[in-house]
Amino acid sequence: MYNLKTKTFGIKVEWRMKYYIYIYFLVCLWTSSTLAQLDSIQKLEEVIVVDRQISRFSTGQRIQNISSSTLQNTPGLLTDVLGQETTIFFKQNGYGMVSSPTFRGTTAQQTAVVWNGFNINSQFNGQTDFNTLLVDGFDELSVRPGGGSIIYGTGAIGGSIHLNNQLKFDGKTSVVLSARAGSFSTFQNLLKASTSTGRWSLSLALSRFSSKNDYDWPTANRKNLNGDFEHYNANLSLSTKLGDGHRLTYHGMYFNGDRNFSLLFPSDPRSNYLNEDHRHMLEWEKEFSNLTSVLKMAYFGEDFQYTANINNPSPTGASAQTAIARYSLFYTYNDFDFNVLSEYNYGTADGDNVQADSRTIASFALLAKHQWKQLTSEVSFRQEYSNVYDSPFLFSTGFNYVFSDYIEAKAKVSKNFRIPTFNDLYWEGSGQTDLQPETSNQLESSLIFSNAKKNHRFSMTGYYNDINNLIRWIPNVNNIWEPENVDEVQTYGLEAQLESTFKFGEHLFQLNSLYAYTISENKQTGFQLTYVPMHKLTNGLTYTWNRLSVELQNQYIGEIFTRSNNSEGDILEDYLLWSSGLSYKFPKIQNLKLSFQVRNVTDAAYQTVENRPMPGRHFFIQTLINF
């Protein structure tokens, strides 16, 4: 089926390579000049992450960390990384198109995306399109299943995804350059550089991802039409120690996406979507002996422009700005850990379909953790006040108990929420200002088994989540779709993870398997929510021997209902995808890593949204250099 056009492909790669050699050259010049200044630095092992709560106040929850090398090695966008590495399922309108997550059976607005400690879900629709995030430039990606509204606010119901930048004061300079080319004229490039002294730290990442995305549709005798995209992302982080325990840190990111939406039928109008996001935060930290005071100011700008027909353009768009001031105080007293959080959030939006309006939210939270022998317990509360809606009082309590070196147990109970978005409130002719926030009461518990050397670990988590006042847009008498607090949903399920490392001499095997069983049921009808698979299984096996590394991954998604009454004729079939990769490091050439990757090895025909075929077998080659 798949026809690799070797000739054109080869030429393009060659052309690209020339381009990269040129960039490599430029960067080399730049690094050598930086290195020259680094003579008098003493080495310090210190990593600054501004999202302090995730590591300190996640009692009762399991955090899954995804390394920056995984982010760099996985072709594509955030959807691709999380699809393989977590239990989250993504529905995509074809590859690279709008991608909505379902985390523990919840809706797309009930997964919070958190950038350096701040929730960045869209002010307009309350969700993140996971195909508008290029993540290879980030240093750390953490996934925190379960409620997190106390710290991360609205939408942290199914779970939260944390994108973090790290800053080091170790006096080292490093540069990573990566270039990838693949099927469907796909190109992905990354430049990531960081440098520091004992007082200053700077980190920068630029990434680009583009594709013609014209893969063959296995069901119809044609290619994916109008699916091309081109994305750019820039991250900049800077931190300085001012002495006397003071530190200033800045993180900024910029995303620019230009995407066409693929056609269902060749005669559909060809549409385009441009979006631009700016995010900036500045933090002033002061450390006392057992007290840390952190003041943060953040500004987010989000803009989009949608053109329904590029042959007859009359674009519509909107923009939103958010300004946030947050003050946190961390206090440690004997076995207690406290955090007081207060935040002021001012958001404004204006657009062609959204009435210009603003929203003010003030919130206060108190988190307390106590360590007593093998038991860690945590209680926390949050109350929000808004000029637009009534916010519920939120609480959570969590426990970790270490039975022995082999067994650990966790449990958590929490109340979380999602607030109405600007579209829900102010959409012209439809917005309803009397909407209530969605609320979720949930509980979960986990058992974690590991061996003494901690190279084998197995964990199981069960959860129950009761969600009320779910906002859904439904048509009124005049065919005007309006949001209403109509639905009640309960989700429950099981998650299991096995991580194993085996070493036989120089041969290293690493295994990571995840399974999720998910029930997400509309309480009024008893039916499973649409686009929530009951089963998801992923496996990843990596074999490393010296400079050679071989990777084999698979992903199984069970059948998916596309109709709210779960009708049998409208089910997307289950599918199993395989992908594999081979890479080799050349230590003599600046640790150049050359990789070859194949995705959808068996050329399986599959869809994650009805009538939206996904790509068949496709290939990538990647070169990655570490300076």
Partner 1 sequence: MNTYFKFLVIAISALVIISCSSDDDNPQPVIPDGDYFNGVLILNEGGSAGGSVSFLGADQQEVVNDIFADANDGEGPGLFLQSIFFDDEKAYIISNGSNIISVVNRYTFELLGTVDSGLSVPRYGTVLNGKAYVTNLAEFNTDQDDYVAIVDLETLEIEETVIVGGAAEYIVSSSGEIYIQNASFGNGNTISKLNPMSNTITETLEVGEGLNSMRAYNQKLYTLDSEGVKQIDLATFTVETEINKPEALSSVSNLRIENDQLYYTSGTSAFTTSISSSELSSEAIFDYGSDSVFGSFYGFEVNEGQIYVGDAGGFTSNGSLFIYSSEGQFVKEFSVGLAPNSFYFQ
Contact 315, 305 (CB under 8 A): yes
Q: For residues 55 and 567, which CB has a smaller minimum distance to partner 1 in the complex?
A: 567
Minimum Å distance from CB 476 to partner 1? 6
Q: Which of residues 367-386 bind partner 1 (CB under 8 A)?
A: none
Our finding on whether 388 is near partner 1 (CB under 8 A) is: no
Residues 342 and 385: their CA atoms lie apart, in Å, by 11
Q: Give the interface segment with partner 1, choosing from 392-400, 463-471, 557-565, 592-600 (CB under 8 A).
A: 557-565
Kindly indicate which of the ranges 283-291, 381-389, 394-402, 563-571 contains the residues binding partner 1, using the contact rule CB under 8 A.
563-571
Q: Which stretch binds partner 1 (CB under 8 A): 39-47, 474-482, 581-589, 618-626?
A: 474-482
Question: Which residue's CB is nearer to partner 1, number 569 or number 587?
Answer: 569
Contacts of 40 (CB under 8 A, 6+ apart): none
d(Cα 439, Cα 386) in Å, to the nearest integer?
16
The CA distances from residue 178 to 24, 141, 185, 620, 625, in Å, are 10, 19, 17, 13, 6
Site pattern 76..105 for partner 1 (x: CB under 8 A): -----------------x------------
602 binds partner 1 (CB under 8 A): no
For partner 1, the closer CB: 353 or 626 = 353
Helix (H) / strand (E) containing 218: none
Least distance to partner 1, CB of residue 265, Å: 4
Q: Could you tell me the end-to-end alpha-carbon distance of the chain, in angstroms, rounded to an integer? A: 40
The single residue among 20, 430, 610, 621 that binds partner 1, judged by CB under 8 A, is 610
Per CB under 8 A, the list member of 32, 475, 507, 546 interacting with partner 1 is 475
Q: Which is nearer to partner 1, 97 or 388 (CB)?
A: 97
429 binds partner 1 (CB under 8 A): no
CA–CA distance, 554 with 85 (Å, rounded to integer): 10
Binding flags for partner 1, 255-274, as an x/- string (CB under 8 A): ---------xxxxxx-----
Q: Is 123 left (phi over 0), alpha (psi -120 to 50) or beta?
A: alpha
Site for partner 1 in 566-595 (CB under 8 A): 567, 569-570
- Closer by beta carbon to partner 1, 202 or else 318: 318
Name the minimum Å distance from CB 418 to partner 1.
20
Distance CA 305, CA 272 (A): 8
* Stretch in the footprint of partner 1 (CB under 8 A) among 384-392, 469-477, 574-582, 587-595: 469-477
Q: Of 76-84, 187-195, 321-329, 564-572, which segment contacts partner 1 by CB under 8 A?
A: 564-572
Closest of 344, 321, 335 to residue 369, by C-alpha: 335
Amino acid at 333: Y
Task: Write out the DSSP string of 516-552.
Answer: EEEEEEETTT-PBPTT--SEEEEEEEEEEETTEEEEE
CB of 1 to partner 1, least distance (A): 16
Apex 152 CA angle, 148 and 155, nearest 5:
70
Task: Annotate each residue in 303-342 with x if it binds partner 1 (CB under 8 A) or - if it does not, as one string.
Answer: ---------x-x----------------------------
Given a contact cutoff of 8 angstroms between Cβ atoms, the answer to whether 147 and 585 are in contact is no
Q: Which two tokens stand for residue 63?
A: 């955090």
CA distance 97 to 100: 10
Phi, psi at residue 16, to the nearest 5°?
A: -60, -45
How many Å apart are CA 373 and CA 99, to the nearest integer? 44
Distances (CA, A) of 157 to 161, 168, 348, 422, 441: 11, 32, 24, 19, 9
Pick 123 or 224: Cβ nearer partner 1: 224
565: contact with partner 1 by CB under 8 A:
yes
**Residue 521 near partner 1 by CB under 8 A:** no
Binding-residue total with partner 1 (CB under 8 A): 29
In the complex with partner 1, which residue's Cβ is closer, 23 or 264?
A: 264
Which residue among 219, 374, 451, 455 contacts partner 1 (CB under 8 A)?
Answer: 219
Exactly one of 478, 504, 505, 506 binds partner 1 (CB under 8 A); that residue is 478
Nearer to partner 1, 226 or 345 (CB): 226
* Cα–Cα nearest to 72, from 543, 608, 602, 620: 620
Least Å from the CB of residue 318 to partner 1: 16
State how far the alpha carbon of 463 is from the alpha carbons of 38, 453, 488, in Å: 51, 29, 17
H helices within 319-398, ranges in order? Answer: none
Query: What minimum distance in Å lies between the beta carbon of 73 and partner 1?
Result: 34
Q: Is 1 in the site for partner 1 (CB under 8 A)?
A: no
Q: Which is nearer to partner 1, 60 or 616 (CB)?
A: 616
CB of 225 to partner 1, least distance (A): 12
> How far, in Å, CA of 540 to CA of 512, rounded?
5
Helix or strand (DSSP H, E) at 30: helix 6-35
476: contact with partner 1 by CB under 8 A: yes
CB count in 10 Å sphere of residue 240 = 17
DSSP 253-314: EEEEEEEEEPPSSTTSPPEEEEEEEEEEEEEEEEE-SSEEEEEEEEEEEEEEEEES-TTS--
Q: Of 275 and 528, which has the nearer Cβ to partner 1?
A: 528
Among 242, 313, 563, 586, binds partner 1 (CB under 8 A): 563
| Closest CB 437 distance from partner 1, rounded Å | 22
**Residue 296 to residue 248: CA distance in whole angstroms:** 10
| AA identity, residue 546 | N
Query: Is position 524 an interface residue for partner 1 (rule: CB under 8 A)?
Result: no
Choose which of 479, 504, 506, 587 interacts with partner 1 (CB under 8 A). 479
CB of 505 to partner 1, least distance (A): 53
Q: Write out the residues near partner 1 by the rule CB under 8 A.
A: 93, 219-220, 264-269, 312, 314, 474-479, 530, 562-565, 567, 569-570, 609-612
